[in-house]
Amino acid sequence: MPRATAKTPAGPPMKKRYPTKSKSHRRDARPRRVNGLDARATLYKTTRELQAAKQELLAIQSEVEADGLRYRDLFEFSPDAYLVTDARGSIRETNEAAARLLNIPDIYTMGKPLFLFVHKDDRPRYWEVLRQLRSQPEGRFLLRLVPRDKEAMVADVRITGVRNWDGSVGSLRWTFRDVTEQERTRQQIGQHHDQLRWLASELSRAEERERRRIATGIHDRVSQTLALAKMMLGKAARAATPECRGTLDEISQLLSQVIDESRTLTFELSPPILYELGLLPAIEWLAELMQRRHGIRITVAGDRREPQLEESLRVLVFQAVRELLTNVVKHARASQASVEFSFHDGQLYVTVEDDGSGMPPRLPPHEAGAGFGLFSLRTRLEQIGGHLQLKPRSNGGTRATILVPALATAAPVSDNGRPRHKHLPEKQA
């Protein structure tokens, strides 16, 4: 049988006890009472602070509005065309100058792609600039625009990208300035400069033709006549009396001296060796002549396999080397010089070096030797794709390098014999 359990007699329920609070704690928990005077003072102070903050906010708002008006005035009345586009080039905002430049009211430009006003030949460049702005903060370039019902114009464009918080381009700021007249003037100056270069080149060619004509005349007429006179004088001397024979011998020696000088003059004006034997033998003869006359040691070295140059190119290189060696003798105060030839990759390189005083320090290397002789040589070399470079040597003296394309051709000329030039584009079709 189950064991019986004793039951506890029922009684009244037990009350839940809580910790009691002291009287002082109950007094502190009561809300404080502030007298009416303190409350009004606090309210007055707070009102004054709010009014001061309001006045400050109004002042800041006025300054912001004034700055906005100033920006709007600068934007609208700027003499340069100013546009705002999104990152893809769609127009968001234009000023009056931009509307006049594009010849379209600004309300009709909103939302239009800017490339619609770009010349079709410049659109690839336009898109390339937009791509570059992803990594560059700004850019500047020339761009041809085609306003509505107007001819194409050249604009100096400045573009700045405005970045978002994540670094992406949010909008673009464009500034356009019409430089069509400046570009046309620059091209006209370039044309005049090209004409000057062409005239200098023609003058150099005319000088060489005249040199050759005079040299031929001296050789065929003067030298031959002098040689014939010497032969006749010798024949007369053999039949003359002993008293006259001494005088005739002196005259024969003078004639021999004149014949030698005329032969040297012929070689200096236009050396036949240049046309008969080639460029390298002519340079060696020139070096020997200048060494004998001026006492400066000149060596000629390099590749003996001379390329098959046209006669005009051989003459041009010979003139260039002669001009450089003449400058060495006149201005460098050098004791020795060298001329070296090399030929590779279809190019002829001629290097002339000296151990003289070098170029004047006040002139940069590309401006040194800016006399007419070197200027004419520079222009003629540039017309055939070559160049003449002058620069100082590290151990003193000057190094001049002549580059000539072995297969160079003459520069294109127009119907009147002058160089052709490029012009500004006409209105887009």
Distance (Å) of CA 309 to CA 217, 305, 407: 26, 12, 7
Residue 68 lies in a domain: no
List of the chain residues with pLDDT < 50? 1-2, 4-8, 25, 31, 362-370, 408-429
Task: Tell me whether residue 52 is in a domain.
Answer: no
pTM strictly above 0.85: no
My answer on whether 199 and 214 are in the same domain is yes
Q: In the prediction, which pLDDT does 102 show?
A: 87
Find the length of the chain. Answer: 429
Task: Give a yes or no: residue 70 inside a domain.
Answer: no
First to last CA, the chain: 121
Write out the H or E segment, with its range, that includes residue 387.
Answer: strand 387-392
- Domain boundary pick from 215, 239, 270: 270
Same domain, yes or no, for 287 and 401? yes
Contact 390, 369 (CB under 8 A): yes
Please report whether residue 45 resides in a domain.
no
Which residue, of 270, 300, 330, is where some domain finishes?
270
Residue 39, in any domain of the structure? no
Residues 109, 95: contact at Cβ < 8 Å? no
Q: What angle do CA 423, 425, 429 make, to 5 degrees?
A: 150
User: CA 176, CA 101: separation in Å to the nearest integer?
Assistant: 9
244 in the same domain as 279: no
CATH number of the domain that residue 311 is part of: 3.30.565.10
Domain edge (last residue) among 151, 178, 205: 178
CA atoms of 176 and 82, how far apart (whole Å): 6
Per DSSP, the three-state class of 125 is helix
* Co-location of 246 and 367 in the same domain: no
CATH of the domain at 94: 3.30.450.20
- Residue 188's domain spans which residues? 180-270
Residue 342 within any structural domain of the chain: yes
In a domain, 40, yes or no: no
Say whether both 317 and 378 belong to one domain. Answer: yes
Cα gap 425→429, rounded to integer Å: 11
Average pLDDT of the chain?
Answer: 78
Q: Where are the beta strands (DSSP E) in 126-189?
A: 138-145, 153-163, 169-178
Residue 194 structure tokens: 């090209």
Rounded Cα–Cα distance for residues 326 and 242 (Å): 48
Residue 412's pLDDT is 39
